[in-house]
Chains A and B, each alone.
Chain A
Amino acid sequence: MKISCDIKVKHLSRVEGHGNIHIKIKGGRVTEAQWEVVETPRFFEAMLVGKKWDNAPWICGRICGICSIGHTLASIRAVENAFGIVPSEQTRKLRLLLKHMETLQSHVLHLYFLAAPDFLNTGSVFPLIKSHPDVVARAARIKLLANDACDIIGGRRMHPTTTVVGGFTMLPDRCKLESLKRRLEEAVTDLHRTAELFRSFPVPDFVRETEFVSLRGNGEYPFIGGDLVSTDGVRMKEHDYKKMTNEYTVARSTAKWARLSRESFAVGALARLNNNFAFLHPAARELSESFGLRPVNHNPFMNNIAQLVECVHVTLESIAMINEFLDNEWDEPRQAVKHKKGKGVSAVEVPRGILYHCYEFDSAGKIVRSDCVIPTGQNHANIQHDLTELAAQSASMGRKDAEIELLAEMLVRSYDPCISCSVH
């Protein structure tokens, strides 16, 4: 039995943004297990008020440095839904390809740079440059490929420039798409090596029954738009997102928290996989099975593996999409935009989970009200409940202080939180 400990982690490292962990055990009982979100808010929802519609994607992309493409696309979709614009099939697919490359980039960043050091007993990726040069080189290779792809399609890897309401300002160079395809084909081998690496890492044995929320695919693994579902059997339309998120404020957090059927729910790669396993590319599904990852999996640490499975899925699906682009002529990249009074909602699966943007426009096309619900914001309550459970388990198992601290940090990291995004 663990008698006592007092663990305080201020500004947890290797996550995006600022969060603290407090765990206090006294006389074998957990007296405190807290996840605090201390990030400074930026007030995006307020700063948009009075701005014309074309400002929304440009400004809102800046909610997040890691998933700026996801935010930009969610914002564009919300504006298009408000104005009744239906993107062309070419635009829809090109956006999905761009989205896939961001997912690949973000997941690889998390798996190698943020999560792997815990399993390789270092504080960062930097010492691995010497001790595991092949691992770092592989991570850099996949990340570079995904980032280059975002440059080619989105104009730039961060805060994209070609993505606009109505389509794209310009289309990717076909030769560059061709070479991108070849590099993606080579990346499949790198991803299999990544799988071997992660197979050598012990996944902490921790299970807590959780409700998982994501988009539900309509014939394909979902990323942009669709119905909202939960593993507890809830199903809703995009425009009912508020009923799916039920945001509330908590004293120890500058981010809003969320709940649905229970006290908390989880979003992200594991939630997507739990709700859409059948839609994964067969090779990705096979990889998932080889890790014993099948729906519904309730171990939050398995989110790392779910991200890895998604890397394989998006890579293979991207190769097929590029083939299709290369077999066809380009259509016009952009359609005209006519603004009108109304409200538009959009749900997009970004690397860390389901993201919602909602805008209300007046007849001049200016924003009257806006609302963004961020994946990590939806995860905070679940992180808290997992942490409470982990602390209780550690107390009864008599784990050492350093072990509890590391496990708690790894637990939060497995959610790949984007804290500044969740506060926005």
Chain B
Amino acid sequence: MPVDNYLGVPLHRPKVAFFEFTACEGCQLQILNNEATLLDFLSLVEVVAFREAMTERSDDYEIAFVEGSITRADEAKRLKEIRKKAKVLVAMGSCACFGGVNQLKNRFNNNKWVKEQVYGKFPVESEEARPLEDVVTVDLNIYGCPIKKEEVEKIVTNLVLGKSVSHPKYPVCMECMANENICLYKMGEPCLGPVTRAGCDAWCPGSRFGCWGCRGPADAANVEQIISIMEEHKFSADTIIDRLECFGGFKKFAGELKKRTAKSKSKKKRAAK
């Protein structure tokens, strides 16, 4: 049942809409995936558009949750229209925040080759994969690939109650230590936990799977230091680059490391000659 009051304060049920661009639609699915609290969650808001789940749709909404990255002109146009209508535009998930895995194709700097790899000569429209903020102003980011439902619920509750929404400034590593997990470096696995923004409760390291940085850098993350730590642990430059460039949040650092590695390789080659 819809909640009218919260702690005696009358509650406004905002109209919310969900949209998706180039993505796996997994983040929207995560919203439906929290069966235990889904009904409570839905009582806080009025869903007016959610194509993956409902046929009715309306253009009258206050909060737009947008999943996916932008890879086509019609998507950019549609996103701008959404921006005009929404009071609050929320980028949901790594694809929307950083380009996500979609931006991995940008690294070739050769869109023609990328298209030919998959479609041969068949004409397909696709541009570079961009995060939402490259096209419109984004009011709020919800990080993660996929987003964590508990975190979304907390953020939406705060939005509805008019409370401020803030992300942890510290890295995943702190959550991981607090959970008393065995450090993956001790088990010989690479991990970006020390530089990635917390909030996921060390989801992957908690499963003994090193962090790939899907939530992007924490405030004041010392990425250079983690690169040298990984080098000390004898991880190859390729392994470090794979992690840094996977979701787009550490793109800048991956790019710099690539340049540096290419330089030292050509230096070695010259020395060998």
- Chain A residues proximal to chain B, CB less than 8 Å: 11, 13-17, 40-47, 49, 51-52, 54-55, 58-59, 62-66, 68, 109, 113-114, 117, 123-126, 129, 136, 140-141, 143-144, 147, 155-159, 161-162, 164, 169-170, 249, 254, 420-421
User: Could you tell me the distance in whole angstroms from the C-beta of A247 to the nearest C-beta in chain B?
Assistant: 11
Looking at B9-17, B22-30, B151-159, B264-272, the stretch in contact with chain A turns out to be B22-30
Which one of A47, A129, A164 contacts B104 once the chains associate, using CB atoms below 8 Å? A47
Among B236-251, those with CB < 8 Å from A are: 238-239, 242, 246
Which one of B26, B30, B38 contacts A140 once the chains associate, using CB atoms below 8 Å? B38
Known: A41-B118, A129-B42, A147-B33. A161 touches B26 (CB 8 A): no
Known: A41-B126, A46-B108, A47-B105. A169 touches B23 (CB 8 A): no
24 residue pairs A–B, Cβ–Cβ below 8 Å? A13-B54, A14-B52, A14-B55, A42-B71, A42-B101, A43-B118, A43-B126, A52-B239, A52-B242, A59-B246, A62-B100, A64-B24, A65-B24, A65-B26, A124-B56, A126-B47, A155-B204, A155-B206, A155-B209, A156-B207, A158-B33, A159-B26, A159-B146, A249-B120
Which residue of chain A is the closest to B25 with respect to CB atoms? A65
Query: Are A14 and B54 interface neighbours, CB within 8 A?
Result: yes
User: Could you tell me the distance in whole angstroms from the C-beta of A265 to the nearest C-beta in chain B?
Assistant: 21
Which residue of chain B is the closest to A113 with respect to CB atoms? B53
Closest 4 CB pairs of A and B: A65-B26, A124-B54, A123-B55, A155-B207
Among B44-70, those with CB < 8 Å from A are: 47, 50-57
Note all chain B residues with C-beta closer than 8 A to A140.
35-36, 38-39
Query: Are A40 and B22 interface neighbours, CB within 8 A?
Result: yes
Among B245-265, those with CB < 8 Å from A are: 246
Q: Is B6 an interface residue (CB 8 A)?
A: no
Q: Report the bound CA distance from A66 to B39 in whole Å.
A: 20
Note all chain A residues with C-beta closer than 8 A to B75.
40
User: Could you tell me the distance in whole angstroms from the C-beta of A371 to the nearest C-beta in chain B?
Assistant: 9
Q: Is B98 an interface residue (CB 8 A)?
A: no
Query: Are A143 and B24 interface neighbours, CB within 8 A?
Result: no
Q: Report the bound CA distance from A136 to B55 in whole Å.
A: 17
Note all chain B residues with C-beta closer than 8 A to A249.
119-120, 122
Q: Is B208 an interface residue (CB 8 A)?
A: yes
User: Could you tell me the distance in whole angstroms from the C-beta of A41 to the nearest C-beta in chain B?
Assistant: 6
Query: Are B25 and A16 interface neighbours, CB within 8 A?
Result: yes
Known: A14-B52, A159-B145, A161-B203. A113 touches B32 (CB 8 A): yes
Known: A11-B51, A125-B53, A159-B26. A41 touches B124 (CB 8 A): yes
Among B78-117, those with CB < 8 Å from A are: 100-102, 104-105, 108, 113-115, 117
Q: Chain B CB within 10 Å — which of A62, A113, A164, A421 has the most?
A: A62
Q: Mark B125-161, 1 if CB is under 8 A from A, else 0.
A: 0100100000000000000011000000000000000
- Chain B residues proximal to chain A, CB less than 8 Å: 21-30, 32-33, 35-36, 38-39, 42, 47, 50-57, 71-72, 75, 100-102, 104-105, 108, 113-115, 117-120, 122, 124, 126, 129, 145-146, 203-204, 206-209, 212, 238-239, 242, 246
Query: Are A65 and B42 interface neighbours, CB within 8 A?
Result: no
Query: Are B124 and A254 interface neighbours, CB within 8 A?
Result: yes
Query: Are B104 and A59 interface neighbours, CB within 8 A?
Result: yes
User: Could you tell me the distance in whole angstroms from the C-beta of B165 to the nearest C-beta in chain A?
Assistant: 23
Query: Are B55 and A13 interface neighbours, CB within 8 A?
Result: yes
Q: Beyond A40-B72, A52-B242, list 9 extra A-B contacts (CB 8 Å).
A: A13-B51, A16-B25, A40-B21, A42-B102, A47-B104, A62-B26, A65-B24, A161-B203, A170-B208
Which residue of chain B is the closest to A109 with respect to CB atoms? B32
Which residue of chain A is the closest to B28 with respect to CB atoms? A65
Note all chain A residues with C-beta closer than 8 A to B114.
43, 46-47
Note all chain B residues with C-beta closer than 8 A to A15.
52
Q: Report the bound CA distance from A52 to B236 in whole Å.
A: 11
Q: Chain B CB within 10 Å — which of A13, A14, A17, A421 has the most?
A: A13
Note all chain B residues with C-beta closer than 8 A to A46.
105, 108, 113-115, 117-118
Which one of A40, A123, A157 contacts B56 once the chains associate, using CB atoms below 8 Å? A123
Q: Chain B CB within 10 Å — which of A17, A43, A126, A136 has the most?
A: A43
Which residue of chain A is the closest to B204 with respect to CB atoms? A161
Known: A47-B105, A123-B54, A162-B209. A65 touches B117 (CB 8 A): no
Known: A140-B38, A141-B35, A157-B33. A162 touches B207 (CB 8 A): yes
Q: Report the bound CA distance from A26 to B141 in whole Å.
A: 49
Note all chain B residues with C-beta closer than 8 A to A68.
24, 26
Q: Report the bound CA distance from A333 to B114 in whole Å.
A: 37
Known: A13-B51, A43-B115, A65-B146. A158 touches B29 (CB 8 A): yes
Q: Report the bound CA distance from A124 to B239 in whole Å.
A: 45
Query: Are A16 and B52 interface neighbours, CB within 8 A?
Result: yes
User: Could you tell me the distance in whole angstroms from the C-beta of B29 to the nearest C-beta in chain A?
Assistant: 5
Q: Report the bound CA distance from A66 to B105 in whole Å.
A: 23
Which one of B22, B54, B146, B239 contacts A126 once the chains associate, using CB atoms below 8 Å? B54
Q: Chain A CB within 10 Å — which of B27, B28, B108 has the most?
A: B108
Which one of B101, B102, B117 contacts A45 once the chains associate, using CB atoms below 8 Å? B117
Note all chain A residues with C-beta closer than 8 A to B27.
65
Which one of A51, A63, A157, A170 contacts B24 once the chains associate, using CB atoms below 8 Å? A63
Which residue of chain A is the closest to B214 with respect to CB atoms? A159
Q: Report the bound CA distance from A62 to B104 in whole Å.
A: 12
User: Could you tell me the distance in whole angstroms from the C-beta of B113 to the nearest C-beta in chain A?
Assistant: 8
